């Protein structure tokens, strides 16, 4: 999985195993709608990113593994 951050968008891309250099967009969110970013207290190898509720959609929470406390 790859995380791409541009000036305003947060993308999560999964590499396509059959086609080198190609990926599939798994999810995305805008940077202004991020509610908070924090280290997961239960598992310090994870970073938790939470987005605000937008319209009638439930908030998105993403846990990103950061091996060796990167």
- Convert the pLDDT of each residue in 12-38 to its tens digit: 899 988 888 899 998 888 888 889 988
Q: What is the pLDDT of residues 29-65, one digit of tens each?
A: 888 888 998 887 888 888 888 988 878 878 888 888 8
Q: Which domains does the chain have, with CATH numbers?
A: 2-69 (2.30.29)
Q: What is the pLDDT of residue 63?
A: 85
Per-residue buried b or exposed e for 12-50, using 16+ beta carbons within 10 Å of the residue's own CB: bbeeeeeeeeeeeeeeebeeeeeeeeeeeeeeeeeebbe
């Amino acid at each position: 999985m790859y995380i791409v951050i541009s000036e305003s968008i947060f993308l999560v891309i999964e590499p396509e195993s059959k086609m080198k250099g190609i990926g599939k967009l798994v999810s995305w969110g805008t940077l202004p709608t991020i509610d908070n970013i924090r280290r997961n207290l239960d598992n310090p190898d994870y970073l938790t990113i939470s987005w605000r509720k937008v319209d009638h959609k439930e908030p998105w929470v993403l846990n990103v593994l950061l091996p060796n406390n990167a």
